[in-house]
Amino acid sequence: MKIAVVGATGLVGSEMLKVLNERGFGTSDYEIVVAASEKSVGKEIDFAGRRLTVVSVDDAIAQKPDYALFSAGATTSRTYAKRFVEAGTTVIDNSSAWRKDAEVPLVVPEVNFSAVKDTDRLIANPNCSTIQMVLALSQLHLRYTIKRLVISTYQSVTGTGVKAIRQMEGEEQGMENIDMVYPYPIHRNLFPHGGDFQADGYTTEEQKLVDETRKILSDDAIAITATVVRVPVMGGHSESINIEFANEYEINEVFDILRNTEGITVLDDVQNNVYPMPLYARGKDEVFVGRIRRDASQPKSLNIWVVSDNIRKGAATNAVQIMQHLINR
């Protein structure tokens, strides 16, 4: 089997290679093709004890891989994804390029892999903040029916990429002439700004939480409002989620449902200061849920706190899991 990673030299692409190796794709049974922009062609990447040479995206298409994992941005995906499909490749795309396309399934494997038809050759990976949230919400929605979500996210600089990490580290070290990715310093700061502002005052990152959640859960009736905050954190994204259900719930049953949801780990022992944190989530594939408590101000409402490594489950791991499900099917 031949697997291409497009954008292999980037932050998520590098993590995809790491996840592929962890999940058994580093053996001689699999040929891994690493592709990136022209400026990276010819570079070598260590993978599972061998050296892989970076090729152009055109060269990767010519090799007709069975699967292509994309993490090179929406422009690259729009340019090349369907060319891979025409070559017989199944593409799993991590960008925003195809998420709103009604013909392209938007997939979190534990939640809605059934949305993928046998004939689908292009599959979209949701936004990182959406992935961890819908994984925590999916079984609760099936049991109680979600009416409304009020979401506040606290998103790691890793969600912006390597340049944002360098900005934060440079500020921490007191460096001068730092390449500013953000409009303000991020060290010892935070700002309610993720993505680009729209005409209605919301950002594109906030809009993704609305549109993608409804698509994945197959329910356009859910009322959703969100505020995205960028924070000086490396380990992952955190989310404060207020959920209003159509039906009444028992808090003990909520705990049981979450504990039995695939991919979820409940960390909730507040008497001993046990709750999810990015520091704990970093490098892990699970979605961690804690601070589970009834909202006393509103009937049939619940508060939860959700944390996950946005580069792992929020991007690389979810994409590899989609491919694994396709292979197994």
Which residues belong to the active site?
128, 237
**What number of CA atoms fall less than 13 Å from residue 118's CA on the CB side?**
1
**Terminal-residue alpha carbon distance, the chain:** 15
For residue 259, the tally of other CB atoms under 10 A from its CB is 12
H or E element, residue 149: strand 146-155
> Which has the closest alpha carbon to 302: 261, 260, 258?
258
Do 108 and 220 meet the contact criterion of CB atoms below 8 Å apart?
A: no
Distant-in-sequence, close-in-space partners of 190: CB < 8 Å, separation ≥ 6: 154, 229, 230, 231, 232
For residue 85, the tally of other CB atoms under 10 A from its CB is 16
Do 216 and 110 meet the contact criterion of CB atoms below 8 Å apart?
A: no
Residue corresponding to tokens 């944390």: 307
Do 292 and 267 meet the contact criterion of CB atoms below 8 Å apart?
A: no
